[in-house]
Structure 1
Amino acid sequence: MSAALVNPIRYRPIDWSRDGPALQAFDAAYVTDRCYRVVADGLGFTLHDVPLAVPFRKRYDLSGLDEDIAAAGFTLIAHQGESVAGFATATYHAWQRSVTLDNLFVAPARQRRGVGAHLVAATAVYARGTPARQVWLETQTTNVAAIDFYRAQGFGLCGLDLALYDPQQVDPREVALYLARPL
Structure 2
Amino acid sequence: MYPEEEEAEGGDEGVHVIVARAGDALCGAISLAHSAWNNRLVIADLRVAPGHRGRGIGPALMERGLAHGRELGARTAWLEVTNVNAPAVRVYRRMGFALCGLDTSLYRGTASEGETALFMSRSL
| TM-score normalised by the chain length of structure 1 | 0.63
2:47 aligns with 105
Q: Secondary structure at the match of 2:11?
A: helix
Residue 85 of structure 2 corresponds to: 143
Alpha carbons 1:142, 1:173 under 8 Å: kept: no
Q: How many residues align?
A: 124
| Aligned with 2:20 (options 57, 62, 78) | 78
Given that residues 158 and 180 in structure 1 are in contact (C-alpha distance below 8 angstroms), is that contact kept between their aligned partners in structure 2?
A: yes
Residue 177 of structure 1 is matched in structure 2 by: 118
Question: How does 1:13-162 map onto structure 2 within 5 Å?
Answer: 13-14=5-6, 67-68=11-12, 71-72=14-15, 74-162=16-104
Deviations 1:128-171 (A, max 9, x none): 112211110001011111100000000000000011112x3223
Is the 2:80–2:118 contact (alpha carbons within 8 Å) kept by the matching residues of 1? yes
Identity over the aligned pairs, expressed in percent? 31
State the distance in 2 between where 1:130 and 1:71 align: 12
Query: Are the aligned partners of 2:107 and 2:114 in contact in 1 as well (CA < 8 Å)?
Result: no
Kindly report the root-mean-square deviation, in angstroms, between the aligned alpha carbons of the 2 structures. 1.7
* Equivalent position amino acid for 1:128 in 2: R
Indicate if the aligned counterparts of 2:42 and 2:78 stay in contact, CA closer than 8 A: yes
Compared with structure 1, are the counterparts of its residues 163 and 92 closer, same or farther at alpha carbon in structure 2 (3 Å cutoff)?
same
Whole-angstrom distance in 2 between the partners of 1:137 and 1:172: 19
Q: Contact 1:90/1:100 (CA < 8 Å) preserved in 2?
A: yes
Q: Secondary structure at the match of 2:88?
A: helix
Q: CA deviation at 1:16?
A: 5.8
Deviation at 1:97, TM superposition (A): 1.1
Q: Deviations over 1:102-147 (max 9, x none)?
A: 1110111111111001011011111111221111000101111110
- Structure 1: tracts of 5 or more residues without a match: 1-8, 18-65
Cα deviation, 1:67-104, whole Å, max 9, x if unaligned, reads 15x541x3211011221100011111111110001111
Name the amino acid aligned to 1:145. P
Cα deviation, 1:22-46, whole Å, max 9, x if unaligned, reads: xxxxxxxxxxxxxxxxxxxxxxxxx
Higher helix share: 1
Unaligned segments of structure 2, at least 5 residues = none
